[in-house]
Amino acid sequence: MRRANIVSGIMLALFGLVMLFAVIPWQIETAPPGFVSPRLVPNITMVVVVVLALLLVIANWRAPVNGDDAENASPIARVELMALLRIGAIFALSIALFRWVSSLAAGASLMVVTLLTLGERRPLPLVAIPAAILLATWFLFYKVIGTEIL
């Protein structure tokens, strides 16, 4: 975690500096005379982030090194990173289907492809689970509550 803290601290400090010196001046105009600047609170929060992130980096940098593998081990396992990438790709596919095909195709693909990705191969759950959830959602909104959500 020590290495992760140093890396995340540097990233956050950079994020804060970019916000302070580039994004906030570019994206927030100055206020008319007599008003408190709209940049004030965003600037304060970013100053806090930069200072604390640097503190995090320094504290971990100066910490005694045990030579323990856990110190330098990534807090994110490879399998978790793969899950993030896979589910991200599934969402990208579903959004594409939503925009260019239909919401039904998007919903069904989100569930079927996730089931397949998580290791489900039996045909019955692959068909029954998405069908049941889509039907239940339709019934809840269109029949019980009486509203069209799309």
* CB-based burial, 68-88: b 16+ in 10 Å, e otherwise: eeeeeeeeeeeeeeeeeeeee
**Signed CA dihedral, 116, 121, 127, 132: sign only:** negative
CA distance linking residue 121 with residue 116, whole number of Å? 6
- Give the interface size with another protein as a residue count (CB under 8 A): 69
Which residue is associated with the tokens 């008003």?
35
Residue 22 makes contact with another protein by CB under 8 A: no
Residues 74-133 that bind another protein (CB under 8 A): 75-77, 79-84, 86-88, 90-91, 94-95, 98-99, 107, 110-112, 114-115, 118-120, 125, 129-130, 133
The residues, any chain, with a CB within 8 Å of residue 33's CB and separated by 6 or more, are none
Residues in touch with another protein (CB under 8 A)? 1-2, 4-5, 8, 12, 19, 23-24, 27-29, 31-32, 35-36, 38-42, 45-46, 48-49, 52-53, 55-56, 59-60, 63, 75-77, 79-84, 86-88, 90-91, 94-95, 98-99, 107, 110-112, 114-115, 118-120, 125, 129-130, 133, 137, 140, 145-147, 149
